[in-house]
Amino acid sequence: MILCCQRDSFKTEFTTKVKSCKEVAASIPVGGKKETIQAYEVLLEDSVLFPEGGGQPSDHGWIDEEEVLVIERRGEDVVHTMKKPFSVGQDVKQKVDWDLRFDRMQQHTGQHLITAIADKQFKYSTTSWWLGDKVCHIELESASGNVMTDAEMKDLERVVNEKIREATPISVNVYEEGDPHLTTVRTRGLPDGFKGPVRVVTITGVEDNMCCGTHLKHLGQLQAIKLLSVERGKARGGKPNRSFFLYFLAGGRVLSRLDESLQRESQLTALLKNSPADHVDLVDKLQKSYKQCSKNLQSVLRNVAVMEAEKFKVLEPKPKFYSLHRKEAEPDFMSVFLTEVGSQDTLFFLSVGDPNGSGNMILFGDSKILEKLGPIVCEILGGKGAGKGQRFQAKVSNLKRRPDAEAAIEQFLTTPVTDANEL
Ligand SMILES: [Zn+2]
C-alpha cells in the first residue's frame, strides 16, 4: 500500500480512521535504552507518519495530540505504538513533527543526488548510507579501489550544487511488480517478501531510483550540499576495505554548521584578540611559544633540582629523613635531585604535582625499609607504585595528604626495630 506520506510528502496533518487497537507489552526507546511498557498498537486506515525505509528513520509525530512512541511498518500496515487506547472506527488526526521530517527529506534527497552524480560522472558506486543526527555519510567504492581525491570531491560538490540551482524536478511514479521499466532503475533490491506496487523516484535527467522514502519536490528545496570529508573504510577480517565514507551536510544543516562555525570563530576572535584571517598564524605562534616556554621551564626546574640538592648536601649532620615537593615540576625533577645528591643514608620522600590533587612521588633509601614503607605511603596518597632497589616510585591521586605521609614515615623510622634481620 502506498501511504499518505508517500503520496504527498509535504502533508503535515491527516485525518483517518482507526482500523484496530491491541494492548501489548511494547519495547520502546528511552534515553538510548529499551524499556518494556504496557501500550497499545494502533493500526489506521492510512498514515501520514512515515515508518522507517530507504535509509530514512521513522517519523516523530502525534495522533490526536498524543505522542506516538514508535512508528513501524509491519507488512502492509503502519503500527503506531501509543500510551492510550483508541476506539475502532473512530476518526483521528495525525500530525507530523515537520522540522524533523523536512530535515530528513533534505538529507535523504541529498543522498540520492550525491549517489547519482558520484556514479554517473565519477564512477563511484554507493553501497550504503547513514542518516546521522548531525552528519550523514555515504559508503562508496570504485572498481579500482581508489578513494575519492580532494579535487574530485570539490568537483562533485560543484556539480550537485549546480543541480540544486537548476531546481531540477523530482517525481514519484508507481509501477506494478514485474513492469519492464523497473529493470532500468537504480535499486539495492526490494525487501524480502515485498509485494505490491513499486515506487520509483525520478530526479529529472539525473536518475531513477526505487525508494519507499519521502523526498523533496524539486532540488531547489535542498538549498545546498556541503561535502565535508572522505575517510577510507577500516579493514574487515584482515582484508583491506575497498570502500570509503563521504561525509556531507544538506539543506538547513549547512546553515546550522555555518552558524556553529561563526560562533566558534567569534569566540576565538575574542580570545585571540585578532581577526579570523590571522587565527591560524596566531595559534601556530602560540603553540611554538608554549613549547619553548615549556622547554625553558623544564631547564629552569632542572637547575632548581640541582640547587635543592646543594642545599641538602651542606646540611650537617644529615637528617634520617628528607622531604621535598615541587608543584610545577615533572618526575624528571626528582631524578635530577637524586642523581645530584648521590648515595646517602637519608631516606628521601620526593613528590611533584598538584598539592591538592594528583602527581608522582619517589621514596629513595634502604631497599628493605622501602619494601614496607612504599605501600604504606602509597595507600595514604591514593596511589599505585612499585619498588626496585633503593627506589620506590608511584603515581598518586591525593597529594593533599602529604603531611600524613610525612608523619607516617617519621613514625616508621622512629619505631624501634625489634628484629634487625627484618630490616
Ligand atoms: Zn529515497
Do 319 and 399 belong to one domain? yes
Q: How far is the CA of 213 from the centre of ligand 1 (A)?
A: 5
Q: What is the pLDDT of residue 188?
A: 66
Q: How far is the CA of 105 from the centre of ligand 1 (A)?
A: 8
Q: How far is the CA of 148 from the centre of ligand 1 (A)?
A: 23
pTM as predicted: 0.78
Residue 35 lies in a domain: yes
Read off the pLDDT of each residue in 346-371 and give the average, rounded to a whole number: 95
Q: How far is the CA of 161 from the centre of ligand 1 (A)?
A: 19
At 420, is the pLDDT very low, low, confident or very high (cuts 50, 70, 90)?
A: very low
Residue 272 lies in a domain: no
Q: How far is the CA of 200 from the centre of ligand 1 (A)?
A: 9
Residue 116 lies in a domain: yes
Strand order in 321-326's β-sheet? 321-326, 347-353, 359-364, 391-396, 383-388
Q: How far is the CA of 191 from the centre of ligand 1 (A)?
A: 14
The residue range of the domain holding 363 is 301-414
Q: How far is the CA of 109 from the centre of ligand 1 (A)?
A: 6
Q: How far is the CA of 111 from the centre of ligand 1 (A)?
A: 8
Do 92 and 107 belong to one domain? no
Do 308 and 376 belong to one domain? yes
Q: What is the pLDDT of residue 189?
A: 64
- pLDDT tens digit string along 167-178? 999 999 998 888
The residue ranking higher by pLDDT, 327 or 235, is: 327
Residue 362 lies in a domain: yes
Q: Does position 264 have pLDDT exceeding 50, yes or no?
A: yes
Q: Which of 96, 113, 134 is the last residue of a domain?
A: 96
Q: How far is the CA of 331 from the centre of ligand 1 (A)?
A: 59
Q: How far is the CA of 62 from the centre of ligand 1 (A)?
A: 24
At 247, is the pLDDT very low, low, confident or very high (cuts 50, 70, 90)?
A: very high
Q: Does position 194 have pLDDT exceeding 80, yes or no?
A: no
Q: Does position 419 have pLDDT exceeding 60, yes or no?
A: no
Q: What is the pLDDT of residue 138?
A: 97
Do 90 and 180 belong to one domain? no
As a whole number, the mean pLDDT across the chain is: 92
Q: How far is the CA of 70 from the centre of ligand 1 (A)?
A: 21
* Cβ count near 338 (within 10 Å): 19
Do 67 and 153 belong to one domain? no
Q: In the chain, pLDDT over 90 holds for what percent of residues?
A: 80
Q: What is the CATH number of the domain that holds 316?
A: 3.10.310.40
Q: How far is the CA of 414 from the centre of ligand 1 (A)?
A: 81
Residue 295 lies in a domain: no
Do 128 and 250 belong to one domain? yes
Q: Which of 96, 127, 150 is the last residue of a domain?
A: 96
Q: How far is the CA of 22 from the centre of ligand 1 (A)?
A: 32
Do 252 and 146 belong to one domain? yes
Read off the pLDDT of each residue in 291-304 and give the average, rounded to a whole number: 95
Closest residue by Cα to residue 141 from 119, 169, 163, 121: 119
Residue 283 lies in a domain: no
Q: What is the pLDDT of residue 237?
A: 74
- pLDDT tens digit string along 391-401? 999 999 999 99
Protein residues within 5 Å, CB atom, of ion ligand 1: 54, 211, 213
Q: How far is the CA of 7 from the centre of ligand 1 (A)?
A: 13
Q: How far is the CA of 214 from the centre of ligand 1 (A)?
A: 6
Do 179 and 205 belong to one domain? yes
Do 211 and 308 belong to one domain? no
Q: What are phi and psi of 22, to 5 degrees?
A: -130, 135
Q: How far is the CA of 55 from the centre of ligand 1 (A)?
A: 8
Read off the pLDDT of each residue in 197-223 and give the average, rounded to a whole number: 93
Q: Does position 334 have pLDDT exceeding 70, yes or no?
A: yes
Read off the pLDDT of each residue in 269-285 and give the average, rounded to a whole number: 94
At 234, is the pLDDT very low, low, confident or very high (cuts 50, 70, 90)?
A: confident
Q: What is the CATH number of the domain that holds 41?
A: 2.40.30.130
Q: Does position 154 have pLDDT exceeding 60, yes or no?
A: yes
- pLDDT tens digit string along 379-418? 999 999 999 999 999 999 999 999 999 999 999 998 865 5
Do 107 and 239 belong to one domain? yes
Q: What is the pLDDT of residue 179?
A: 85
Q: How far is the CA of 40 from the centre of ligand 1 (A)?
A: 30
Q: How far is the CA of 48 from the centre of ligand 1 (A)?
A: 16
Q: How far is the CA of 25 from the centre of ligand 1 (A)?
A: 32
Q: How far is the CA of 88 from the centre of ligand 1 (A)?
A: 33
Q: How far is the CA of 209 from the centre of ligand 1 (A)?
A: 7
Q: How far is the CA of 212 from the centre of ligand 1 (A)?
A: 6
Question: How many domains does the chain divide into?
Answer: 3
Read off the pLDDT of each residue in 115-141 and give the average, rounded to a whole number: 95
Q: What is the pLDDT of residue 187?
A: 74
Q: Does position 423 have pLDDT exceeding 60, yes or no?
A: no
Q: Which of 195, 223, 257 is the last residue of a domain?
A: 257
Q: What is the pLDDT of residue 54?
A: 78
Q: How far is the CA of 275 from the centre of ligand 1 (A)?
A: 43
Q: How far is the CA of 172 from the centre of ligand 1 (A)?
A: 10
Q: How far is the CA of 301 from the centre of ligand 1 (A)?
A: 64
Q: What is the pLDDT of residue 76?
A: 81
Q: What is the pLDDT of residue 250?
A: 98
- pLDDT tens digit string along 34-93? 999 999 999 999 999 999 887 889 999 999 999 999 999 888 889 999 999 999 999 999
Q: What is the CATH number of the domain that holds 130?
A: 3.30.980.10
Q: How far is the CA of 154 from the centre of ligand 1 (A)?
A: 24
Do 181 and 80 belong to one domain? no
Do 135 and 249 belong to one domain? yes
Q: How far is the CA of 97 from the centre of ligand 1 (A)?
A: 19
Residue 334 lies in a domain: yes
Read off the pLDDT of each residue in 323-327 and give the average, rounded to a whole number: 96
Residue 420 lies in a domain: no
Q: 87-91, 182-186, 192-196, 409-413: which range is least confident on average?
A: 192-196
